[in-house]
Structure 1
Amino acid sequence: MADELRRVAFVLWPGTHPATVMPALAVLRSANRMAEAELYRAECYTLDDQPLLSPEGWRLPAAQWNGEQSGHAHIWLVADGMALPSTIPVGLAHHCRNRARDGYTIGALEGGVYPLAMSGLLDGHLCAVHWRMIDDFRERFPAVKAGSELFAQDRGRLSSSGGQATLDLFLALLAEERDPDLAAMVAEDLVVERLRDGSERQRVPLRNRLGSTHPKLTQAVILMESNIEEPLTTDEIARHVCVSRRQLERIFKQYLNSVPSQYYLELRLNRARQMLLQTSKSIIQIGLSCGFSSGPHFSSAYRNCFGITPREDRNQRRAQQAMDVAAKA
């Protein structure tokens, strides 16, 4: 096993919670301990002169990135999904492009996919994006092949959707760069139940989200989630899952305390709200893509569910975002 030291740079955007990078640091630290050698040296940087301090008081030692740092085998752009970057410094983008051109690994953790995409280094590449951000990301960066996998590795571009997926990505990287046996030892050291492949989907298994293992309920909800733009009728869903309409209604009532039509409507409205707040698509476009036949129909159903019209909801969110930006200025 090669034991040469590899320096790894993590460049963190303002507002990033230290926990965003902790899974990666945990893998590198454990790798050094298991190998009884310094295989990796993690170096954290910020874009300003402010310390990395979480609301809970966590402090992560970091130096300020000044563009003069060099010698890193990996460069990772890191941002919190709750504080997405709007720009990338020209010097940092230039540095990353030069390193990528020389064959070095460039990666992103959670919201870090935004500045990496802004640099142009993700164009034409696969990229893992957290499911909450994926609609907005796809709209802003159509040249990037954004997916909802746990993590992605594509021709020197690595990306994690965040959270536990970052740990999975670094274990996979450790197995490739060093030794699969070392990766297995690190996984055991970190009490990881199993090594997950990057192609696995992000979402929690449906039966866990529903709190039920009833197979017909699971099949029905999967059908609903797969047919948002052109909704199925309750009779069609019952026919697809091979039960009667009355039996399907009893299952929904027993496990979800709802009827299929109401659950389906709320599912479509929640998808619409996500698109409304994350994309710049028109309200009419969003309504049609979520199965509503007209603007008034969509607006009425939205107001009945959320107590506010789609337009009012979007305007309030934009006003709040503008206030947050002004407060940070």
Structure 2
Amino acid sequence: MGNPYTVALILLPGFSLFTLGAVRAAFTVANEVEGDAVYRLRQYSPEGEAASSQCGLSLAAEALAGLNLEQPGLLLLIADERIDERLSMAARHQLGQQLRSLGQDGVWVLGASGTGAQVLAQHGLLDGYRAAIDWQLLAEAVQHYPDTAFVPGLYELDRNRITAGAGAAVIDLILHWLGKRHGSMFAAEVALVLGLERLRGGDERQPVPASAQPAVGSIRLKEALELMATNLAEPLQAEDIAQLVGVSRRQLERLFRQHLDTFPSRYYLELRLKHARRQLKQTTLSIQQVGLACGFASGSHFSTTYRNYFGCTPREERARHAMPLVEAYKAGEEME
């Protein structure tokens, strides 16, 4: 048999151990099913010899500069948080160079999970492709990268680009990709060993978090919640949502009152505000950018609405979150 096919896992800051484990498990089982080491996994970090995970655990990883570009392979970005400002300028530059080099030769398959598709899109590597991305970034990605056809599904395979949304969707992506290379029976056998009952289709929508699920089942309500969750930057009117899910506005309001004890407009606003709060805490986007990404056309409207709901302004929220980091930095200086 020929040389093993290289699978280069690029661990970006804040990656999920679950996602990494799922990918490694899928390819490990694939080797077991094939009875040979057909896939060779390597871990790389844009920042050197270690990669920091979402939970703070650091894993050993090779420097990205050591990636051999001469042999064909699959490069998969493992990302579960925004990395806009989490990488140094030098690391971002090197990552961009490597990605563009691989994207030009057409031999490597470029893939991403979670928020990783945003990185590929930033470097123009998804222009003209369909792609999946973490549902929380979908509306923003559609707005910022018009040359990419972002979809709300679990995963997407388009020629030599493969992408998945958040969480377990990456398992479905890898299994489907393995099925393309080895046949559907091979993928089914790998899935069976992994304990999966079925292979999910890429067009299945990413699930809305449990906090957004209705207490009592309602297909129309679930569809309305998904529309809201994937249209945060440009909020839909209640009439449009009702029409898209096939009910009248009055029926839609009745569903929300019955299952969630609120009105559609109120629920939608809370969803946008909670998303804004996460953005303020987890990203370095400006307050104005956060407001725009959450559907607020003016900074004053965003600030007033945010204060009325959370009891503090976006600026105060950002300062409050940054304070522990400043104190920790000062404590570290005193210890030196």
TM-score by length of 2: 0.72
Q: 2:179 matched to 1:180?
A: no
Letter in 1 for 2:63: Q
Aligned to 1:78: 78
Distance 1:102 1:321, change over 3 A: farther
Task: Work out which of the residue numbers 160, 166, 169 in structure 1 matches 2:170.
Answer: 166
Alignment of 1:218-237 (within 5 A): 218=222, 229=235, 231-232=237-238
Supply the distance in 2 between the matched residues of 1:321 and 1:123 (Cα, whole angstroms). 40
CA RMSD of aligned residues (A): 4.4
Supply the distance in 1 between the matched residues of 2:220 and 2:144 (Cα, whole angstroms). 38
Supply the distance in 2 between the matched residues of 1:199 and 1:220 (Cα, whole angstroms). 18
Q: Is the 8 A contact 1:76 1:106 kept in 2?
A: yes
Q: Which moved more, 1:268-277 or 1:87-96?
A: 268-277
Supply the distance in 1 between the matched residues of 2:51 and 2:219 (Cα, whole angstroms). 46
Deviations for 1:83-142, whole angstroms, at most 9, x for unmatched residues? Answer: 555555444433433333332211222233233233332223222111222344445544
Aligned to 1:10: 9
Task: Work out which of the residue numbers 211, 217, 225 in structure 2 matches 1:213.
Answer: 217
Supply the distance in 2 between the matched residues of 1:53 and 1:110 (Cα, whole angstroms). 16
Q: Is the 8 A contact 1:78 1:108 kept in 2?
A: yes
Aligned to 1:40: 39
Q: Secondary structure at the match of 1:302?
A: helix
Letter in 2 for 1:160: A
Letter in 1 for 2:116: G
Deviations for 1:146-185, whole angstroms, at most 9, x for unmatched residues? Answer: 3332222223122222321111110011000112111000
Q: Secondary structure at the match of 1:177?
A: helix
CA offset at residue 143 of structure 1? 3.5
Task: Work out which of the residue numbers 97, 117, 141 in structure 2 matches 1:94.
Answer: 97
CA offset at residue 259 of structure 1? 5.0
Q: Which moved more, 1:304-313 or 1:22-31?
A: 304-313
Supply the distance in 1 between the matched residues of 2:134 and 2:172 (Cα, whole angstroms). 14
Q: Is the 8 A contact 2:15 2:54 kept in 1?
A: no
Supply the distance in 2 between the matched residues of 1:60 and 1:316 (Cα, whole angstroms). 30
Letter in 1 for 2:202: G
Supply the distance in 2 between the matched residues of 1:18 and 1:313 (Cα, whole angstroms). 29
Supply the distance in 2 between the matched residues of 1:107 and 1:82 (Cα, whole angstroms). 16
Supply the distance in 2 between the matched residues of 1:219 and 1:199 (Cα, whole angstroms). 14
Give the total of aligned pairs. 318
Identity %: 31
Supply the distance in 2 between the matched residues of 1:10 and 1:21 (Cα, whole angstroms). 8
Distance 1:213 1:63, change over 3 A: same
Alignment of 1:270-281 (within 5 A): 270=274
Q: 2:30 matched to 1:31?
A: yes
Supply the distance in 2 between the matched residues of 1:295 and 1:56 (Cα, whole angstroms). 33
Q: Secondary structure at the match of 1:210?
A: coil
Distance 1:56 1:214, change over 3 A: closer
Supply the distance in 1 between the matched residues of 2:166 and 2:134 (Cα, whole angstroms). 7
Q: Is the 8 A contact 1:151 1:161 kept in 2?
A: yes
Q: Is the 8 A contact 2:14 2:55 kept in 1?
A: no
Supply the distance in 2 between the matched residues of 1:321 and 1:127 (Cα, whole angstroms). 37
Q: Secondary structure at the match of 1:133?
A: helix
Q: Which moved more, 1:23-32 or 1:189-198?
A: 189-198
Q: 2:192 matched to 1:192?
A: no
CA offset at residue 24 of structure 1? 1.4
Q: Secondary structure at the match of 2:65?
A: coil
Deviations for 1:175-224, whole angstroms, at most 9, x for unmatched residues? Answer: 00112111000011111122112222213399981121146755776787
Supply the distance in 2 between the matched residues of 1:223 and 1:17 (Cα, whole angstroms). 26
CA offset at residue 252 of structure 1? 4.6
Q: Give 5+ residue unaligned stretches, structure 1.
A: none
Q: Secondary structure at the match of 1:66?
A: helix
**Larger Cα-atom Rg:** 1
Q: Is the 8 A contact 1:283 1:311 kept in 2?
A: no
Supply the distance in 1 between the matched residues of 2:130 and 2:326 (Cα, whole angstroms). 34
CA offset at residue 305 of structure 1? 1.9
Supply the distance in 2 between the matched residues of 1:42 and 1:29 (Cα, whole angstroms). 9
Distance 1:142 1:281, change over 3 A: farther
Deviations for 1:234-276, whole angstroms, at most 9, x for unmatched residues? Answer: xx89xx746977x965x65553233556445534655666788
TM-score by length of 1: 0.73
